[in-house]
Structure formats: C-alpha cells, structure tokens
C-alpha cells in the first residue's frame, strides 16, 4: 500500500490525544457534509423549478418550427408534403397560419393572435388536454377556442349563438383606407372551448380551423405561415432540420424548442450559474476553515512527523499524508452530504414537506448531473485547500 495513504487512513480513523483536535476535525468534516448537502439540495430545487417553468413551453411549443426566411408566409406543395413524410425521425407535422388581428365581442375588443390549425395539430400539441371548458375544434366549422385570459377580458361565453365573436383581419395591400370593408376581412366565430396553460399563452391565441384562417387572411389553400413538427423519440434533430431545409430549398428557417424560447432558457441558465457560484463561494469559505483544521492537525502530529523524517521519509511524502487526509475527508464528507441530500429530495417529492402555496409544493428533481457537479466541486476545491495546508509541512517546521 502507498505509505502516505496508509498513514492518512490511520489519522482519519484514529483519535488524537488532544480532545480539541478531535473536535476541530469533526467540525471540519461536518462543515463539508453540510456544504455538500446544501449545494445538492439547492441545485435539485432549481432543477425542479427549471422543469416546472419549462413544462408550459414543452406542452405548447413543438419540437421544431418551420418559418419563412423572408415575408410572413410561404407555399407548400403536395410533393413537399410527401417528402416531409419520408424524413426519418419526423413523427408528424401540422400546417398553421397565424396573424395579429382585432377581436370584438359584446362591445369589448382585444388585439391578439388568430391561429389557424389543421387536423394534425392535436398530435403535435397537447393543448386539447389543457381545455379549461368546452371542447376542441371540429373540422370545416366556424368554431374557435380562446385562451382563458382572452375569454376573461372579453367576457366570452361558450356556445352563445346570439352573440358570435367577431374577428377583423387586416387586408393586404397599399393605398388609403376609405372604409372598414376595404381595410378588414370580417369573420364571425363561435367559441366552443377555453384553454388554460399560463398567463402569457392564455392571453395570446384564438384557435380556428386552418381553412377559415386562410380565407380570413386572403391566403391560398397551400399558403401557410409555418409548420409545427414533432420528432420521434431519440431522433437526430440536426439531421431532420437538414432534410427539411433541402426540401424547401433553404427558403425557410427551422427553429428548435430551445431557440423558440431562447430568452427563457438563457435566463434559467444564468440563474443556475449564479446560484451555483454563490453556493460555491460559501463552500470556499467552509474550506478555508477546513484548511486551518488540517494545519492544526499537522501541528498536533508534529512529533510523529519528526520521527518519520528521522527514519528517512522525505518531506514530499509527509506532505502527501495530509494531502490524502484532506482529500479523503472531502470525499467522505461529500458522499455523506450528497446521500443526505438525496434523502431530503426524495422526502420532498414523496411527502411535499415544503410548500410554495397551499396546493403547490417546491418542485425538486434528482439528476446524476447534480451529483457529479457537487462531488467534482467538493473534491476540486478540497484539493486546493488541502494542498495549501499540506504545503506548510517543511523541515523548518519540524525542526
């Protein structure tokens, strides 16, 4: 066995004659355990909050979205649709058109988005499972499904045949506007459903059938503003995107869910980094105390070290004893802290011990990445702190 490692193990599992040194060693180990526990629990909570925040976009946004490089719309041919169906890794796609329009109901108005969707939309998007009231669209009808925020602002009711929802879509073209008829295409919609996802999305869209939206916007049957695509599990999205771009001769751009929500992802990643750095700084302060504890142990073992030096042990090997001692304590303390953290995380998931509101518990997620990150942080910083402390072992100190 490696001699310095053997001595380090003896120091870890044996008590000092000086009771103060034993207390200092226990406090140092306890500091590492608490630091590892706190860092792991905080990262797990943030992972839970991140997953909770992203679940709304994951439920609403497609895996991939195709949009025109220039202009608001593009044309899709039957041949291009056939080519899309042949792409390996592509599960399904939905044609959509959307435009910012004016809605008017019962002397109230709101400007928001009209979104026309085809029959495949519910296979791409789970919005039909998030209906607060009513039902989803039926094909070839003037039905509409509005967000809860829109319905609330307009005091919108369902199946009100006496008071349809009016939508005014700006007509494309130039020149002076002489009348309302020349400026807008008007359609009467029958609200049959209300969806509820989050405050932003609930105030953004009114869904109608694709052909109705195309007619209101003056589009041709094969003219759309985008494609929403669902990929197969474990599909190579890069390869799928490349094939889609070839089909449309690079006249479109394909964006992933992360790109569609770039601001949200950037904010969450920044918050995660800042949180990690703050708790790492706290752990560095703990390790300063840990380094001091190791130096106190060096002083306590001074006579033993003199004996080893007299027997021919090199100073370099004596330093390794305390280097191994410190790293071993970091690994032991880190593993105990992570184990306790895992217990806390599973208790929170199982029994919802801490609540944000009366009905919502703090979300937590256990990930192997967090385990690796915490143990890597502890061992790396512990190595630096122990290296600094063990470097104090010298002939001058022992003499």
pLDDT band at 374; cut points 50, 70, 90: very high
pLDDT mean across residues, the chain: 91
Residue 238: the pLDDT is: 95
pLDDT at 173 over 80: no
pLDDT at 1 over 60: no
Higher pLDDT, 312 or 175: 312
**Contacts of 326 by beta carbon, 8 Å cutoff, 6+ apart:** 290, 291, 294, 382, 383, 385, 386, 389, 390
Give which of 11, 5, 2 is closest to 296, Cα–Cα.
Answer: 11
Average pLDDT over residues 377-394: 92
Tens digits of residue pLDDT in 130-168? 899 999 999 999 999 999 999 999 999 898 888 999 999
Higher pLDDT, 350 or 59: 350
Among all chains, which residue has been given the structure tokens 């295409």? 185
196-to-146, 218, 264 alpha-carbon distances in Å: 9, 30, 20
Residue 397: the pLDDT is: 76
Residue 82 exposure: Cα atoms within 13 Å on the Cβ side: 3
Could you give the CA distance from residue 399 to residue 394 in angstroms, rounded to a whole number? 9
Average pLDDT over residues 88-113: 95
- The predicted model scores a pTM of 0.81
- N residues, the chain: 399
Residue 17: the pLDDT is: 75
Pairing of strands 90-105, 226-231: antiparallel
Helix (H) or strand (E) holding 186: strand 184-195
Could you give the CA distance from residue 194 to residue 136 in angstroms, rounded to a whole number? 9
Give which of 252, 246, 375, 385 is closest to 326, Cα–Cα.
Answer: 385
For 108, list phi and psi in degrees, rounded to 5. -120, 150
Tens digits of residue pLDDT in 62-91? 999 999 999 999 999 999 999 999 999 999
Pairing of strands 205-209, 165-170: unpaired
Give which of 357, 11, 77 is closest to 224, Cα–Cα.
Answer: 77
């Amino acid at each position: 066995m490696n001699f310095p490692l053997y001595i380090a193990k003896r120091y870890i599992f044996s008590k000092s004659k000086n009771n103060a040194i034993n207390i200092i060693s226990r406090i140092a180990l306890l500091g590492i355990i608490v630091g590892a526990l706190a860092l792991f629990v905080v990262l797990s909570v943030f992972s839970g909050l991140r997953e909770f925040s992203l679940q709304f976009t994951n439920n609403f946004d497609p895996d991939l979205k195709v949009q025109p490089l220039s202009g608001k719309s593009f044309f899709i041919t039957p041949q291009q649709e056939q080519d899309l169906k042949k792409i390996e890794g592509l599960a399904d796609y939905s044609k959509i058109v959307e435009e910012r329009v004016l809605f008017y109901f019962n002397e109230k108005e709101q400007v928001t988005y009209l979104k026309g969707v085809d029959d495949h939309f519910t296979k791409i998007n789970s919005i039909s499972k998030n209906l607060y009231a009513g039902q989803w669209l039926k094909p070839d009808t003037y039905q509409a499904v509005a967000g809860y925020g829109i319905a609330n602002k307009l005091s919108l009711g369902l199946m009100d045949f006496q008071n349809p929802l009016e939508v005014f879509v700006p007509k494309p073209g130039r020149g002076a506007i002489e009348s309302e008829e020349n400026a807008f295409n008007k359609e009467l919609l029958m609200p049959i459903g209300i969806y509820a996802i989050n405050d932003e999305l609930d105030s953004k869209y009114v869904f109608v059938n694709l052909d109705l939206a195309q007619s209101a916007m003056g589009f041709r049957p094969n003219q759309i503003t985008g494609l929403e695509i669902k990929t197969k599990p474990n599909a190579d999205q890069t390869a799928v995107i490349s094939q889609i771009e070839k089909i449309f001769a690079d006249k479109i751009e394909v964006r992933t869910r992360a790109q569609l929500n770039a601001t949200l992802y950037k904010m969450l990643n920044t918050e995660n980094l800042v949180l990690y750095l703050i708790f790492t700084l706290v752990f560095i302060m703990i390790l300063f105390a840990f380094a001091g504890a190791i130096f106190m142990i060096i002083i306590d073992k001074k006579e033993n070290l003199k004996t080893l030096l007299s027997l021919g042990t090199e100073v370099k090997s004596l330093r390794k004893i305390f280097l191994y001692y410190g790293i071993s304590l970091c690994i032991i303390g880190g593993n105990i802290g992570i184990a306790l953290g895992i217990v806390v995380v599973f208790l929170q998931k199982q029994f919802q011990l801490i609540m944000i509101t009366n009905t919502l518990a703090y979300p937590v997620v256990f990930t192997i990445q967090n385990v690796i990150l915490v143990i890597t942080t502890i061992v790396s910083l512990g190595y630096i702190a122990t290296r600094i402390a063990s470097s104090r072992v010298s002939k001058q100190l022992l003499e």
